[in-house]
Amino acid sequence: MFSFLKKSAPDAKPETAAEPAPAEAAKTSWRERLFKGLAKTRAQWGGKLKSIFSRGKVDDELLEELETLLLTSDVGIEATTHLLDELKKAAKRDKLDTPEAIQKALADALLETLQPLEKPLDVSGHKPYVIMIAGVNGAGKTTSIGKLARYFQSQGKSVLLAAGDTFRAAAREQLETWGERNNVTVIAQDKGDPAAVVFDAISAAKARGIDIVLADTAGRLPTQLHLMEEIAKVRRVIQKIDPAGPHETLLVLDANIGQNALQQVKAFDKAIQVTGLVVTKLDGTAKGGVVLGIARQCPKPIRFIGVGEQIDDLRPFSAKDFVDALFE
């Protein structure tokens, strides 16, 4: 039996997030929260970079130390090699001879590497615009859906949530709580077929003129082939009701897993054709360099990044802001 849920308990709180007080939200800009959220990654880079660049020339010793730093920051071999090559080219071309010049050259190389991933999600092409969200257990998938709902509402869009994780009652309950907080409808089912829940949600969105459907799916590991086939079935069912759908397939990645994120992107892309990424928990790790590995090895657009537990701590990815936060 399907249930259609609307906000009825304004004091309900999800287990994993707390909404900031209005004064706090107004006081702290997104850029400031981003800089604070990347503090651990910046700490991994900051002092070491100053020491590495202090000699004021790009020589073999500097390149070796920088290579070690990048690899230990989960940048990955391919991206590290690319960045070192770019730095060597800049040193030869521009005759870099000060720590400041070397750091700027590295920052420029980072920005050039990440810029292609900065592709804000455009939801104007379809109504309802169906976004399917996937990821492994614990990546922050359901919480990200709640934050995405708030983000799209702030853009003037109406939102409907589909509780497609029918395996875990806690996931459904958490999504329902987010629905109450955001004052949006959640379509859920106590048990049964996730594809049926999503199908029903899209039908309801069409009937009600809703702008965006955010469809949750059960967390799964790429090695769980039967579950990967199930999520592929959800995609096929969406296409039955809307041949163009899903219009976006977001994979939620926990930044703490570092280079393992690359394998997740490849596995989920094979099963459901990932079109964008949501990178969460950047505030809790020094492995923020993994986004550079993504840029070089599996360059899917990073639609959103998360740097905290507050409801507004998930925003569109900006390559320049990200690079600035690594150095300042």
Nearest-angstrom CA–CA distance, 94 and 83: 16
Q: What is the pLDDT of residue 287?
A: 75
What pLDDT was estimated at residue 156?
A: 95
Which pLDDT score, from 0 to 100, does residue 19 have?
45
Q: Per-domain residue ranges for the chain?
A: 1-9+30-328
Q: Hey, which bits of the chain come out as E strands?
A: 2-5, 129-134, 159-162, 185-189, 212-215, 248-254, 276-280, 302-306, 314-316
Going residue by residue through the chain, which has 328 residues, state the pLDDT in tens, using 9 for 90 and above. Answer: 344 444 333 333 333 444 444 434 444 687 888 878 777 777 777 667 878 888 788 889 999 999 998 888 888 899 999 999 999 999 999 998 888 899 899 999 999 999 999 999 999 989 999 999 999 888 888 889 999 999 999 999 999 999 888 777 777 888 888 888 889 999 988 777 888 999 999 999 999 999 999 999 877 776 666 777 778 888 899 999 999 999 999 999 998 888 888 989 998 898 889 999 999 988 777 677 889 999 999 999 999 998 878 888 899 999 998 888 887 6
Report the half-sphere exposure of 80 (CA within 13 A, side-chain side).
18
- pLDDT reported for residue 277: 97
Does the bond joining 246 to the residue before it have cis omega, within 30 degrees of 0? yes
The tokens of 154 are what? 């702030």
Q: Which CATH number fits domain 1-9+30-328: 1.10.10.10, 3.90.79.10, 3.40.50.300, 4.10.520.10?
A: 3.40.50.300
DSSP, collapsed to helix, strand or coil, labels residue 212 as strand
The pTM for the full model equals 0.86
Q: What is the reported pLDDT for 7?
A: 37
* pLDDT for residue 178: 86
pLDDT score of 170:
75
Length of the chain: 328
Q: 220: which residues sit within 8 A by CB, 6+ positions away?
A: 134, 136, 137, 227, 228, 230, 231
